[in-house]
């Protein structure tokens, strides 16, 4: 079931069609990864769904109900957002920062106290709750950002680059927490520049460019859609002539040589044995074997023409 349905949502600025008649669904309970080059419209899309900015056209439904100015406030209490920029008051303690956000979401008294403690414990900063965030490491500041975004136990949480600029240990902690939150029932929408993170954490990935959804599916589906080909790398000793196997074996679509390795582009795994047998029969000495399948990075490049690292 869809927790959020986006239909023909459009937001144009003078010089940019930031979001251009986009339609898609966010399924209840999933982790949806959103990827796109800079300027693709990701932030604008999230701001539209959060109701921070209004759309020029189109509609958003939450649990089937159309969002309007009238019900927007109630909706925003059920949705959480962890922005890319660290959003805390340096003069307040971590606990007071989280308490501030709890109040914004309308909590008070025991409910608020319990919620603040839960958010601080969940993000692993409870024992440093009375410190100013100014004394925190980069990773702890990011965790505080998350605590502020989840204090009201949102049904769906949007995270924009939540692991930017932090050490691997903090990154793992954050990713683990997000997974755990999802297992406890929160739907997650995750935007990141780290391809491996998106690949590892997401149930489904949506790639956007120029304000449109250009592809969506599980990583496997996306890869299979651009090509089912895999590359078999064989290092052969004192051998040449493997190129002709592309003509001799059905399922081998190309053979090239890179340094001391032959690269066999194969359509499925079943031809591997045939390639190896034939090479052995031809007198080849196979020194090493390696396989490589296309990855999300290749998918990103295929759809956007942009290398993720250059992005």
Q: Which residues bind ligand ADP (CB under 6 A)?
A: 13, 16, 18, 36, 38-44
- What letter does residue 208 receive in the DSSP assignment? E
3-class SS at 131?
A: coil
If you write DSSP's letter for every residue of 155-194 in order, what string do you get?
SEEEEESTTTT--HHHHHHHHHHHHHHHHTT-EEEEE-S-
Instruction: Report the residue number, 76 or 304, with the smaller CB distance to ligand ADP.
Output: 304
From CA 101, how far away is CA 150, in angstroms rounded? 9
Element (H, E) at 234: strand 230-237
Task: For ligand ADP, give the closer residue by CB, 47 or 170.
Answer: 47
**Nearest distance in Å: CB 41, ligand ADP:** 4
Q: Closer to ligand ADP by CB, 151 or 299: give it.
A: 299
The minimum distance between CB 36 and ligand ADP, in angstroms, equals 5
Q: How far is the CB of 247 from ligand ADP (least distance, A)?
A: 45
Q: Give whichever of 213 and 263 is closer to ligand ADP, judged by the CB atom.
A: 213
Closer residue to ligand ADP, CB minimum distance, 39 or 251? 39
- Supply the minimum distance, in Å, between the C-beta of residue 56 and ligand ADP: 13
**CA dihedral (58, 64, 67, 72) positive or negative:** negative
Q: Which is nearer to ligand ADP, 13 or 89 (CB)?
A: 13
**Please, what is the minimum distance in Å from the beta carbon of residue 62 to ligand ADP?**
21
Contact at 8 Å (CB) between 289 and 233?
yes
Q: Which is nearer to ligand ADP, 38 or 172 (CB)?
A: 38
* Cβ neighbour number for residue 67 with a 10 Å cutoff: 19
Residues 175, 196: contact at Cβ < 8 Å? Answer: no
Cβ 147 to ligand ADP shortest distance, Å: 24
Whole-angstrom distance, CA of residue 197 vs CA of residue 202:
8
Alpha carbon of 166 to those of 80, 150, 169, 170: distances in Å?
22, 20, 8, 7
Query: Sheet harboring 31-35: ordered strands across?
Result: 79-82, 156-160, 187-191, 31-35, 204-209, 212-217
Please state the closest distance from residue 195 (CB atom) to ligand ADP, in A. Answer: 15
Contact 256, 246 (CB under 8 A): no
């Amino acid at each position: 079931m869809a927790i959020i349905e986006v239909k023909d949502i459009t937001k144009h600025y003078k010089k940019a069609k930031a979001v251009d008649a986009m339609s898609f669904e966010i399924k209840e309970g999933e982790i949806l990864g959103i990827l796109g080059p800079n300027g693709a419209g990701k932030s604008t899309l999230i701001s539209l769904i959060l109701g921070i900015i209004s759309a020029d056209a189109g509609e958003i439904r939450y649990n089937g109900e159309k969002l309007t100015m009238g019900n927007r406030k109630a909706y925003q209490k059920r949705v959480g957002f962890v922005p890319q920029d660290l959003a805390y008051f340096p003069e307040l303690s971590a606990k007071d920062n989280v308490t501030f956000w709890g109040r914004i979401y309308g909590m008070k008294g025991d409910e608020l106290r319990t919620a603040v403690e839960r958010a601080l414990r969940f993000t692993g900063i409870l024992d440093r709750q009375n410190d100013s965030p100014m004394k925190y490491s980069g990773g702890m500041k990011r965790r505080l950002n998350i605590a502020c975004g989840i204090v009201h136990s949102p049904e769906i949480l949007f995270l924009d680059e939540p692991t930017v600029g932090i050490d691997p240990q903090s990154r793992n902690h954050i990713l683990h927490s997000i997974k755990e939150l999802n297992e406890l029932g929160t739907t997650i929408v995750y935007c990141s520049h780290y391809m491996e993170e998106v690949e590892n954490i997401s149930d489904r990935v949506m790639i956007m460019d120029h304000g449109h959804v250009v592809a969506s599916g599980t990583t496997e589906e996306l890869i299979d859609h651009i090509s089912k080909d895999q590359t078999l790398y064989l290092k052969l000793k004192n051998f040449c002539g493997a190129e002709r196997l592309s003509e001799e074996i059905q399922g081998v679509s190309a053979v090239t040589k890179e340094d001391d390795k032959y690269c066999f582009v194969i359509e499925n795994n079943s031809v591997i044995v045939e390639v190896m047998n034939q090479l052995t029969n031809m007198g080849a000495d196979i020194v090493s074997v390696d396989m490589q399948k296309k990855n999300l990075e290749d998918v990103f490049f295929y759809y956007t023409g942009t290398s993720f690292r250059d992005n």
